[in-house]
Amino acid sequence: MTALAVTRLCKAFGGLRVTTDVNLNVEPGERRLIIGPNGAGKTTLFNLITGELTPDSGSIELFGQDITRVPSRRRPHLGMARTYQIITLFARDTILRNVTLALLGLSKVRWNPIAVLDRQHGLVDRAHEALQRVGLGHIADRPLSQTSYGERRRVEIAMALAQNPKVLLLDEPFAGLSIDERQDVQKLLRAIPRDVTIVMIEHNMDVALDFAERITLLHFGEVVVEGTRAEVVDDPRTREVYLGH
């Protein structure tokens, strides 16, 4: 069974076709990279897959289940997690609370107006563990506003992983990171076990190519080239898309 199957997905805004007949089939455990020049529609594709945007036509299946009509807030409950290009976390809270909120999102306890959140030991302990896994366990009580950009990116990934996703969508996770920070994130991603399928959008070719097993190249909302890393790198159409000839 394919982990994530996108079939003939189309989206247009007025006259502008942003996604045209996109097909994507990601196998369980795969590391898929989505590349393409600016404006190719990569983030739009992610927004369609997570349900923040409604497609005009086409379908999306998660491990065989059709989720095209499922509201975006239900998809994390079905095993889909996502990070964003621009990090939008809860600046007023500690990084522990940030991760706790991620865990809370899938828990029935989130509707409870009486219990004390800080005493939900199950959640809080799992939040600590999630932070340990990304190497931030020692600063769990630090306010998010006092962390570096690289640390915040790792908090965001911790939050996504804390939800035990089956499919993890990463939107430019290396953007804005220093070389050291990039290495931290790379290590982190390599350590993610194979029961999580990862689809990543990335511009930075050094780190991205290292990560990718299969690559999908998007241009003007359409899939231009798809295949293994070697196939896509060698394909003349790839050079054409990026260099125009």
Partner 1 sequence: MSVRNIALGILFLALASLPYWMDGIFYINVSSQILFYAIFALGLNVLVGYAGLVSLGHAGLFGVASYATGFLLAEGFGHTEAILVALVIGVASTAVFAALSLRTTGIGFIMITLALGQILWGLAYRWISLTGGDNGINLHGRPAPFGISLQSPTAFYYATFVVFVVSVVAVAIFVRSPFGAALMGTRDQPRRMNALGYHVWMIRFIACLLSGLLTCVAGILFVYYTQFISPQALALTSSAEVLLMVISGGPATLLGPIVGAVLVVVVKNVVSGFLERWNLLLGAIFVAIVILMPEGLVPGTARLWRAAWQRMRRRADAAGTPGDAEPKP
- The residue (of 160 and 177) whose beta carbon lies closer to partner 1 is 160
Taking a C-beta distance cutoff of 8 angstroms, is the pair 217, 223 a contact? yes
- What is the spatial distance between Cα 113 and Cα 80, in angstroms, rounded to a whole number? 27
Q: Provide the minimum distance between the beta carbon of 87 and partner 1 in the complex, in angstroms, as a whole number.
A: 10
Taking a C-beta distance cutoff of 8 angstroms, is the pair 127, 109 a contact? no
- The residue (of 8 and 77) whose beta carbon lies closer to partner 1 is 77
Q: Provide the minimum distance between the beta carbon of 8 and partner 1 in the complex, in angstroms, as a whole number.
A: 25
Q: Provide the minimum distance between the beta carbon of 195 and partner 1 in the complex, in angstroms, as a whole number.
A: 19
- The residue (of 121 and 245) whose beta carbon lies closer to partner 1 is 121
- Which two tokens mark 67? 């989720």
Question: Is the sign of the CA dihedral 102, 177, 184, 201 positive or negative?
Answer: positive
Residues ≥6 apart with Cβ < 8 Å to 148? 181
Q: Which amino acid is at 55?
A: P
- The residue (of 151 and 171) whose beta carbon lies closer to partner 1 is 171
Residue indicated by tokens 């939050």:
159
Q: Which of 162, 227, 173 is nearest to 196 (CA)?
A: 162
- The residue (of 133 and 229) whose beta carbon lies closer to partner 1 is 133
Q: Provide the minimum distance between the beta carbon of 78 and partner 1 in the complex, in angstroms, as a whole number.
A: 10
Q: Provide the minimum distance between the beta carbon of 230 and partner 1 in the complex, in angstroms, as a whole number.
A: 34
> Rule CB under 8 A: which residues touch partner 1?
50, 52, 72-77, 82, 84, 88-92, 97, 100-102, 104-107, 109-118, 120, 159, 163
- The residue (of 91 and 205) whose beta carbon lies closer to partner 1 is 91
- Which two tokens mark 170? 């990463």
Buried b (16+ CB within 10 A) or exposed e, 197-220: bbbbbbeeeebbeebbebbbbbbe
DSSP state of 94: B
- The residue (of 6 and 144) whose beta carbon lies closer to partner 1 is 144
Q: Provide the minimum distance between the beta carbon of 65 and partner 1 in the complex, in angstroms, as a whole number.
A: 16
Q: Provide the minimum distance between the beta carbon of 214 and partner 1 in the complex, in angstroms, as a whole number.
A: 25
- Which two tokens mark 2? 């394919």
